[in-house]
Amino acid sequence: MSLKSEYSAKIKSAAHALGFLSCGIAKADFLEEEAPRLEQWLRQSHHGSMGYMERHFDKRLDPRRLVPGAKSVVSLLLNYHTDKTQVDPKAPKISTYAYGTDYHFVLKEKLKKLMQLIHTEIGEVNGRVFVDSAPVMDKAWAAKSGLGWIGKNTNLISKKMGSFFFIAELIIDLELDYDSPTTDHCGSCTACIDACPTEALHQPYQIDGSKCISYLTIELKDNSPTEFKGKMDNWAFGCDVCQTVCPWNRFASPHNEPAFEAHEDLLGLTNREWQEMTSEVFTTLFKNSAVKRTQFEGLKRNIKFLSS
């Protein structure tokens, strides 16, 4: 076994031991195919008010600009799927990824441990860890490393596990064995396109982010445009529709990460309790949650929009 193969095996074994669903490795290089797609997406203003998507264009397409001397992008998936649901069917809904502790905290901790293991098992390796807080095209890199394909709903999909997982990366200056991309298995299915409440998936493999419910309830700081009244499917934070209807998610299994368990009072909230939520209750329920991103005022604004 070559050193590259040995190191790759050690990294994947360590990732598995830390609870990651899977780990794939791609060569750190310029994303040629993605460059024109990203340029067109921005030109069509499909990023809405997310001005940060226009910044660091070169870094977004070339990891060597983020980590000098980078040789490999190690992509990792962490399951967050759950069978648990909110009890009151009339209550405003939040995406299942936000039920528990903010994934940024959980993933960062695991990635730091993985880097420590790399230093212990392999030696001095320079690099950085990323959890969607830097200009890294995580789905593109995960697809390049064979962890799945980017589906018609623009999410990364795995034949074995569906799509209810977080994606994170290590970009390191160590040369490794590189995995091969998988093939597309969406076929003629259009379930996600047909089900999207706001028609954000206007055509296969493209999303108008400015119409996506996740954007409208999280990224957008103003009131949602009136054109979306009655189309939000009762989502107050995020949206799971295009994943829930995806046939590949019949293979998704519940996560076993304690940090992703919902706060004991969250799922039982009634519609009335959501409507009358105070800032104190918000702080208690969402202390370490991704929902804090929209803040109390933002969540109340979203809930009010749903009922107006």
List residues with catalytic annotation.
Answer: 132
**CB-count burial class (<10 Å; 0-12, 13-18, 19+) for 276:** exposed
Give the 3-state secondary structure of residue 74: strand
Separation CA 260–CA 89 (nearest Å): 22
The single-letter DSSP state of residue 299 is H
- Length, in residues, of the chain: 308
- Beta 235-237 vs 93-94: how paired, if at all? parallel
Q: Please, where are the H alpha helices in the chain?
A: 3-17, 34-43, 57-61, 103-121, 138-144, 191-195, 213-214, 241-244, 271-275, 279-285, 295-307
Residue 105 CA to residue 107 CA, distance in Å, equals: 6
Query: How distant is the alpha carbon of residue 18 from its chain centre?
Result: 19
Q: What type of residue is 198?
A: T
Virtual CA dihedral for 308, 237, 37, 148, nearest 10 degrees? -140
Residue 239 in tokens: 């949206």
Contact 158, 22 (CB under 8 A): yes
Alpha-carbon distance of 295 to 237, in angstroms, equals 11
Closest by alpha carbon to 26, among 146, 132, 149? 146
